[in-house]
Structure 1
């Protein structure tokens, strides 16, 4: 996938509300593979909805969203399965870890499906992000910051053309946020991928091709 384009897209819930200034909603926006994009928003502006639209989980919007010119509403379930395995990776704002599994098991579960990363590389990520001593800890016991780092590692356990990051450092301090930014940048460069990240405040420090206000 080389491009994601929004054509006059707007969440249905905003349909009857007064028009608010936006550089994303009700306009034409194209995200190109290989570039990094920051979407800044206030709470309730629809940033998580946008990520869900792009990932194909929700279709309650006006307008169109296209992958390389194809309307995503016309994609089959099989096509979506392929896209989520090889073209789109998504870091959820709420992490969505399995509480009863350990940090390592949460990561390994996805990597067993994709066979994308070597175990030693994943172990290195845990060490790099300062949670190597939490690998055998159930996710429910981890702090939010630790959970966010585990979810970040999990998001790297697959190939992707675009990486969707919904408030990826909301629970991280400056040092860990910087480490995660470096990790994402290295992975995106290796895959020639684009990054689309949202923020309601602090954001990943990347060289953004465009900063859009939602």
Structure 2
């Protein structure tokens, strides 16, 4: 696969329905979305708007009811289970709202695990990456010894360490104070370059002001897609 196409995301007419008892619930009502390499995109919306569903479909954690999803040049609807596993290992990295850390591994070991899964154990220094997210003093600590904000930073470090070209973050500053959240957002924004796409899901409109693009969702539909109103705002001017 050509490197220049690895970090491109395309959704065409994508729907997602869930059966809740006798009721068919529509989470996505047929959306189109294209994200190019180098973009830092915020998907904005209230709870239930479809933003996390969209992220899960892009990351092959769920399957669409209809439509076409292409990530890194791969058509997810025509991919085998092993191909989807390879996509999650080599192309997509997730930062989960619930952290998903291994309780029996230290902060450093959690990051090393992410590097092992993606086959990039020798491509970066896990301690360096943890230091970059402000955890140089917590390298040997286990998740239960860390605060919620510190656990979130370990999860972010693990995602960054893979070097994968598609980085998906679900409410990455949800457990962080303003100072730490600002540091994390700056790190995420820096990851968007010619080789990587960064998508951040949030309900926080203030955070969306620092994005290249804001995709706003409501009731399973994209209601707007473009630069933040008033243009991209420097991190130093954000308050949330």
Equivalent position SS for 2:84? helix
Unaligned runs of 5+ in 1: none
Q: Contact 2:7–2:195 at 8 Å: present in 1 too?
A: no
Matches within 5 A, 1:88-107: 88-107=92-111
Matching of residue 178 in structure 1 with residue 187 in structure 2 = no
Indicate the larger mover: 197-206 or 131-140: 197-206
CA distance in 2, matches of 1:192, 1:204: 22
Q: Contact 2:49–2:217 at 8 Å: present in 1 too?
A: no
For 1:169, the equivalent position in structure 2 comes to 173
CA distance in 2, matches of 1:187, 1:70: 22
CA distance in 2, matches of 1:98, 1:205: 33
For 1:193, the equivalent position in structure 2 comes to 196
Match of 2:121 among 115, 119, 122: 115
| RMSD, aligned CA | 2.6
Distance apart, 1:104 and its partner CA:
1.5
Higher helix share: 1
Query: TM-score, structure 1 length as denominator?
Result: 0.83
Match of 1:36 among 21, 34, 40: 40
1 or 2 for the larger relative contact order (CA 8 Å, sep ≥6)? 1
Q: 1:204 to 1:127 in 2, by over 3 A?
A: farther
For 2:17, the equivalent position in structure 1 comes to 12
Indicate the larger mover: 136-145 or 71-80: 71-80
Distance apart, 1:188 and its partner CA:
2.9
Q: Contact 2:129–2:161 at 8 Å: present in 1 too?
A: no
For 2:217, the equivalent position in structure 1 comes to 213
How many residue pairs are counted as aligned between the two chains? 207
Match of 1:46 among 41, 46, 50: 50
Unaligned runs of 5+ in 2: 1-5, 219-240
Distance apart, 1:205 and its partner CA:
6.2
CA distance in 1, matches of 2:181, 2:199: 16
CA distance in 1, matches of 2:11, 2:124: 36
Q: Contact 2:8–2:197 at 8 Å: present in 1 too?
A: no
For 2:132, the equivalent position in structure 1 comes to 128
Higher strand share: 2
Q: 1:157 to 1:78 in 2, by over 3 A?
A: same
Equivalent position SS for 1:157? helix
Q: 1:170 to 1:80 in 2, by over 3 A?
A: same
